[in-house]
């Protein structure tokens, strides 16, 4: 491919289709991170310690699966490319496993433990990883333009929360409408799964791989050399830490907030939906505004300023923890602070790929995205002790 084709404008149709891939993932993953624990404990009667143990142990397998999937993607050869076909191949298994997580049998604690362990890992460790690692890698195979990768990142992170809005904001009201029991959860998850499937297929159809570099990326490079190139890429570690902090913040808030609304505000329906929807709308709006300030302030400075604002908003919340209106204000303020990192994190990972190729003459799209994904999953595991404290 010529350099001109590799850096040409992708068009808004392609950018939106790419972003819808993350919308699809978050329709399901939003349920997992925000409401699955509540479903297990309050609707299936599973002890919270058991749920926390399952998810904590699962992180061990989940992290290793990202590395394995990164290697698999790098060796994949098909008429659709390396990363793109996995979105098609894994879409059906992903949504079926998502529904299966909510079909917990009414049996002994031991049987329930093994059921949620198997179904949770099939969905997150196997299927989600087999979609998410190739999906993240795909952006670097669609263009070599840093500007276009930034736009893909912005659109991705602006559309990504819509999946969580669908899952998180509307789940509890619809569950109550369908009977407020386990069967209602299965019906709601089936609806969300169907939506996720359609969005994944849209992403697959519209997003093509155009970057084909026939250099050392096609050679058989020893694993040891690849690992050395990865760990000596200083910008990989910088972006990895940013991504980990973001994931930890979202995991802690997402897991605790439903319980907080239920037991402090005594309303786990519209109050929780209002808080989540308000923060998400603010996040989407300011994510789209970030590119307008990028050239003037720089991505790094905007991310640092946003992180400081997130800390300030959380500190302000502790001044009045029982006021819903105050909680709503600080939640929306936190959304403003989260926007710069959400807008640029995946574009920065694409820059890490290009820097690694310049420095080591090895192009490691899937390996770098897999390494970053491992970090985020380890970060999300850190919030389980807080959950058990509830």
Instruction: Say whether pLDDT at 257 is over 90.
Output: no
Q: What is the mean pLDDT of residues 164-187?
A: 88
The set of residues, in sequence order, having a beta carbon less than 8 Å from that of 279 and lying 6+ positions away, is 331, 332, 334, 335
The two tokens of residue 343 are: 């807008």
Q: Per mean pLDDT, which of 14-23, 47-56, 243-252, 289-298 is the most reliable? A: 14-23
Instruction: Say whether pLDDT at 2 is over 70.
Output: no
Please state, in angstroms and rounded to a whole number, the distance separating the CA atoms of residues 86 and 95. Answer: 14
Structural contact between residues 257 and 276, judged by C-beta atoms closer than 8 angstroms: yes
pLDDT tens digits, 342-363: 888 777 777 887 787 778 777 7
Share of the chain above pLDDT 70, in %: 87
pLDDT tens digits, 263-310: 888 876 677 778 878 888 898 888 888 888 877 888 888 988 998 999
- Classify each residue of 252-286 as buried b or exposed e, where b means 16 or more C-beta atoms within 10 Å of its C-beta: bbbbbbbbbbbeeeeebeebbbbbbbbbbebbbeb
Please state, in angstroms and rounded to a whole number, the distance separating the CA atoms of residues 314 and 316. Answer: 5
Terminal-to-terminal C-alpha distance of the chain? 55
Q: Tell me phi and psi for residue 81, to 5 degrees.
A: 115, -155
Q: What is the mean pLDDT of residues 163-192?
A: 89
Q: What is the mean pLDDT of residues 180-184?
A: 93
pLDDT tens digits, 107-143: 888 899 999 999 999 998 899 989 988 998 888 888 8
pLDDT tens digits, 213-240: 554 444 566 667 777 777 788 888 888 8
Please state, in angstroms and rounded to a whole number, the distance separating the CA atoms of residues 364 and 74. Answer: 8
What is the full DSSP assignment across 168-211? IIHHHHHHHHTTSSHHHHHHHHHHHHHHHHHHHHHHHHH-----
Please state, in angstroms and rounded to a whole number, the distance separating the CA atoms of residues 385 and 80. Answer: 43
Please state, in angstroms and rounded to a whole number, the distance separating the CA atoms of residues 78 and 388. Answer: 45
Question: Where is 264: in which H helix or E strand?
Answer: none
The two tokens of residue 23 are: 């919308």
């Amino acid at each position: 491919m010529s350099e001109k084709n590799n850096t040409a404008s992708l068009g808004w149709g392609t950018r939106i289709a790419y972003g819808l891939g993350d919308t699809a993932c978050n329709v399901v993953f939003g349920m997992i991170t925000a409401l699955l624990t509540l479903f297990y404990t309050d609707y299936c009667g599973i002890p919270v310690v058991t749920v926390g143990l399952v998810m904590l142990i699962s992180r061990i397998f989940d992290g290793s699966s990202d590395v394995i999937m990164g290697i698999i993607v790098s060796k994949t050869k098909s008429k659709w490319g390396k990363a793109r076909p996995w979105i098609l191949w894994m879409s059906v298994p992903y949504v079926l496993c998502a529904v299966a997580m909510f079909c917990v049998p009414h049996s002994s604690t031991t049987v329930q433990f093994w059921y949620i362990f198997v179904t949770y890992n099939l969905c997150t460790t196997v299927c989600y990883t087999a979609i998410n690692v190739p999906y993240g890698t795909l952006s670097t195979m669609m263009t070599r333009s840093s500007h276009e990768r930034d736009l893909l990142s912005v659109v991705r992170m602006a559309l990504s929360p819509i999946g969580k809005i669908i899952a998180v904001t509307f789940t509890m009201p619809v569950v109550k409408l369908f009977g407020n029991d386990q069967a209602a959860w299965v019906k709601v998850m089936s609806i969300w799964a169907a939506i996720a499937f359609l969005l994944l297929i849209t992403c697959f159809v519209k997003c093509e791989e155009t970057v084909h570099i026939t250099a050392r990326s096609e050679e058989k490079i020893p694993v040891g050399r690849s690992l050395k190139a990865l760990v000596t890429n200083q910008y990989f570690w910088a972006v990895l830490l940013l991504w980990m902090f973001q994931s930890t913040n979202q995991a802690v808030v997402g897991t605790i907030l439903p319980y907080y609304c239920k037991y402090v505000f005594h309303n786990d329906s519209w109050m929780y939906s209002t808080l989540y929807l308000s923060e998400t709308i603010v996040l989407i709006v300011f994510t789209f505004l970030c590119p307008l300030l990028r050239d003037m302030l720089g991505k790094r400075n905007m991310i640092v300023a946003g992180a400081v604002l997130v800390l300030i908003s959380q500190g302000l919340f502790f001044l009045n923890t029982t006021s819903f209106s105050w909680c709503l204000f600080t939640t929306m303020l936190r959304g403003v602070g989260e926007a710069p990192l959400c807008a640029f994190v995946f574009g920065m990972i694409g820059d890490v790929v290009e820097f690694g190729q310049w420095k080591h003459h090895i192009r490691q799209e899937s390996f770098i995205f897999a390494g970053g994904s491992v970090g985020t999953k380890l970060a999300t595991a850190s919030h389980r002790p807080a959950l058990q404290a509830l």
